[in-house]
Amino acid sequence: MASASGRARAALENAGKADQIKIIGFDGQPEGKQAIKDGKLYADPIQFPDQIGQKTVQAIMQYFDGEKVPKEVLIPTELYRKADAEKDASLR
């Protein structure tokens, strides 16, 4: 794991504290998912870029059509954990 999460994990292992602190990654990258399955990361919140793009385009279209654009648009996320990694066919 060359990511920031991986470096944090290595630092905790070197300090003998890896079992005392849970590390949470970000954005559902394959190496993060594998680290969750391997027990090196606790979880990873996953965003959905397709939904982000779709909502962005909708807001732009509303704006140019003279419609009121919401000040804030919430897009759901999911928390990917070990149980998800255990069922993930893309992981070894």
Residues 16-49: tens digit of each pLDDT: 998 899 999 887 788 889 999 999 999 999 889 9
53: domain CATH number is 3.40.50.2300
| Whole-number pLDDT of residue 7 | 85
- Separation CA 3–CA 27 (nearest Å): 12
Q: Rounded to 5 degrees, what are φ and ψ at 87?
A: -95, -5
Mean pLDDT over 52-66 rounds to 97
| pTM reported for the whole predicted model | 0.71
| Whole-number pLDDT of residue 1 | 53
Mean pLDDT of the chain: 91
Which residue range(s) make up the domain with 77? Answer: 4-87
**Domain total of the chain:** 1
In the chain, % helix, strand, coil (3-state, to 5) comes to: 45, 10, 45
| Whole-number pLDDT of residue 30 | 86
Q: Which of 31, 27, 42 is nearest to 3 (CA)?
A: 31
30-39 pLDDT per residue, tens: 888 999 999 9
